[in-house]
Chains A and B, each alone.
Chain A
Amino acid sequence: MAATKTFRVLPGFNITLGFTLAYLSLIVLIPLSAVFLKTTSLSFAEYWHVVTAPRVVATYKLSFGLSLVAAAINSVFGLMLAWALVRYSFPGKRLVDALVDLPFALPTAVAGIALTALYAKNGWIGQYLDPLGIQVAFKPLGILVALVFIGLPFVVRTVQPILEDLDTELEEAATSLGAHRWQTFRHVILPILLPALLTGFALAFARAVGEYGSVIFIAGNIPMVSEITPLMIITKLEQYDYAGATAIATVMLMLSFTLLLIINGLQAWTSKRTGRDR
C-alpha cells in the first residue's frame, strides 16, 4: 500500500483538535457526567418516582412548552427586527441596534423584577390588561413574557449578518419575474435565511429552557401551574435532596439535547437544500 502523506494547508490540526476535546471535556462533559454520576445513587425505581412525580412533570410541560413558544415568537419578531435594522435607515437606528443586546447584559433578576412590576395588577401595563381579564404576572403568560425578553437578541444577531449579505438583486430578479412581495419573501428570502433562523431559534430555546433568574420573580411559582423545571431543581437542592435534584437535571439535559439535535438536523437539512454546503 503506497501511503502518501497528505499535507494540510492550515497548521496545527492535531493540536487544535486535542485542545478542543480537552477543553470541551473540562468545561462541559465532566460537569455533566457528574450530574449523571450523582443520579446513580438512586435506584431506578426511586429515580423514576422522582422524575415522574406529577408536580415535576407539570414543570417539564411548562418549561419546554413555553420555551418553544417563546423561541417561535422571537423568531418571528427577531426576523422583523433584523429586517428593519438591515434594510431601513431611521433616526435612532444605532440606539435600537444597541438596545437589542440589552437582555444579554442585564442581570436576569433585574429583568424579572422589572417585568413583574410592569405586569402586576397595579403595574404600568398590568393595570390596563387586568380589566380585560388578562393577567400576566404570576401566570404562565408572565413566564412567556420573561422568556421572550431574554431570548430576543439571539434571532436578531444570527439573522442580521445573513440579511446584510443578501443581495437586493435577488429580490429585484424575483420581482422582474412577476413575483409579489410575499412570494419573493416566501420563496426567495426565507429559504436563504432559514438555516440562520433555526440557529437563532435553537439558541433562544436553549436559553429559555435554562432561564431561572427572570422567571421566578414573575412566575408566582404556583405548584402545577407556574413552576418551571429549574425551580424544581433549586427546591430539591434547598431540601438537601441532591440526588433528586440531579435526577430532574438529567431529564432536562436529555430533553434539551434531543430537541437541539432535532433542530440541528433540521438546520443541516435546510442548508443542504439551500445549496450552501456545496
Chain B
Amino acid sequence: MSIQVKDIHKQFGSFVALDKVSLEFPTGELVALLGPSGCGKTTLLRIIAGLESADSGQVLLDGEDASGTHVRERQVGFVFQHYALFRHMTVFDNVAFGMRMKPRSQRPSDKQIRTKVHDLLKLVQLDWLADRFPAQLSGGQRQRIALARALAVEPRVLLLDEPFGALDAKVRKELRRWLRNLHDELHITSIFVTHDQEEALEVADRVVLMDHGKVEQIGTPEEVYRHPATPFVYSFLGSVNLFHGRIEGDTVQVGEDVLPHVPHGFDHGAEVVAFARPHELDIVIDGEAGNGVAARISRILAFGVTARVELDGVNGASGQHFEVELTRSRVLELGLAEGQAVRLVPSRLKLFERETVGGVLQ
C-alpha cells in the first residue's frame, strides 16, 4: 500500500514539530526517516499511524484520505522503541493478541490462530520461545516478538519507531540485516524512524532526511551520501571536515591559506562553507605556503587497515579540528608523527554558500 502525506503541520505549543511536510512512500519500499532528535520524524510516523493527529494536512493511504480513520481501522503495524510487549502474556499470547481482539465474526478459530502464531514465530526465528514471558527475553528477542505481533494482524503498512534504539551495538547490527531480509521476503510498505545514519543507509531503499520539522532531502542511500543537497545533510551523514572561506578566482581562500578548487556558480568574493569527508583529504608534509590548509597533527590512531589522523588547524583555520582517513601504509610512508606541522589538501570539496548555512552548523 502506498502512503502519502500532504502538507502535514503539527505544533506542540509554540514548538513546530512538522512544518508543512509532504512526502510519498511508494508501495513495497522500506523507507527510513532520518534526523536528529526533535526533528519531527517520530511525530510524523505517529501521525501516519493515527496515534497522533495533525493540526492540518492529510494522510492518504492507498490514495484514500485516512485523516478521519481510527488507528484500529488503519491496519498499520506499529513497532515501538521499547517493544511495548504485554508483560503479563506469554510470547504466544502477545502475538495472538491482535487476532483474538477481532470481532467474533472475523476471528480465526483457535487452531488457525495457533498455526498463524507459530508461522510468525518461525518467521522471526523464535518459535522455541512461545511459552516464555517477555521479561525472560533479551532486548533483541523482544523486538522481534513485537514485530511478529505487529505482523499478525496482516497490516497494510509497517511503521517502526526507532526499532533498534534500545539495543546494544552488536545486536543492532544483526537485527538491521535481519530486518532487511525480512522486508525482502514480505515486501510490505515500511517506514522506520532512526537517528542512526549508518542504520538508515544500510537498511533502507530510500532515506528521508529531516531537520527542524522539514524535509531536507529524499533519495537512495547512495544519492544522499554522495550528493548531499544541503549542509545539514552533509554534516549529518558521516564525519565531515568543514572550512569557512571566500571564493577568490579559482580558489577558496581560507584565512591566509588557499584550497585549490574549481568552483562553479559562485560569485567572486562569495562567502562559502566547504565540506570534505575524512577520506577526501590528503596530508602533504612540505607543501609550499598557499596550497592547502595548515594544520598540526594532534593524534594518530592507526589500528586496522585505515588510520585516522586528528589535526588542529593553525593560521586560517585555527581552533578547528580536522579528521583525515588514510591507509596505514600511507601514514608510514609519510612518516607522520604527533605534533608535526602539515598541510591538508582536499581531493574533493563540496561548497555551500554561507547564507544558506544559517544557524544549522555549529
Contacts and interface: CB of A to CB of B under 8 A. Distances in A.
B71 interface: yes
Interface string A172-216: 111111111001000110011000000000000000000000000
A274 B87 contact: yes
6 contacts: A167-B84, A169-B82, A176-B71, A177-B153, A187-B101, A275-B134
B164 interface: no
Interface in A201-241: none
Interface stretch (B8-16, B72-80, B265-273): B72-80
A192 B152 CA distance: 23
Contact of B101 (A169, A183, A192): A183
A275 B153 contact: no
B123 interface: no
Contacts of A174: 86, 97, 101
A275 B88 contact: yes
A177 B150 CA distance: 7
B102 interface: yes
A188 B149 CA distance: 14
A59 to B, nearest CB: 40
Contacts of B85: 173
Contacts of A178: 72, 98, 101-102, 153
Contacts of A173: 78, 80, 84-86, 146, 149
A153 B146 CA distance: 37
A180 B77 CA distance: 16
Given A176-B49, A178-B98, A170 B88 contact: no
A273 interface: yes
B301 interface: no
B133 interface: yes
B135 interface: yes
Interface residues of B, number: 28
Interface in B138-158: 146, 149-150, 152-153
B136 interface: yes
Nearest to A274: B88
Interface residues of A, number: 22
B171 interface: no
Contacts of A275: 87-88, 133-135
Contacts of B70: 175
A8 interface: no
Given A169-B84, A172-B80, A177-B153, 19 more contacts: A167-B82, A170-B86, A172-B51, A172-B78, A172-B84, A173-B78, A173-B80, A173-B84, A175-B70, A176-B76, A177-B98, A179-B72, A179-B101, A180-B101, A187-B86, A187-B97, A273-B88, A275-B87, A278-B136
Interface in A262-278: 273-276, 278
Contacts of A176: 49, 51, 71-72, 76-78, 150
Contacts of A172: 51, 71, 78, 80, 84
A188 B86 CA distance: 7
**Among the interface residues B72, B88, B150, which one has the most CB atoms of the partner chain A within 10 A?**
B88
Contacts of A276: 87-88
A169 B80 contact: yes
A187 to B, nearest CB: 7
Contacts of B71: 172, 175-176
A70 B71 CA distance: 39
A162 B92 CA distance: 25
B326 to A, nearest CB: 46
A191 B86 CA distance: 10
A188 B102 CA distance: 15
B88 A191 contact: yes
A231 to B, nearest CB: 42
Interface in B78-114: 78, 80, 82, 84-88, 97-98, 101-102
A276 B89 CA distance: 11
A256 B152 CA distance: 47
Nearest to A273: B88
B61 to A, nearest CB: 14
A218 B80 CA distance: 54
Given A191-B88, A192-B88, A274-B88, A177 B82 contact: no
Contacts of A179: 72, 97-98, 101
Contacts of B77: 176
Contacts of B86: 170, 173-174, 187-188
B133 A278 contact: yes
Nearest to A191: B88
Contacts of A274: 87-88
Contacts of B76: 176
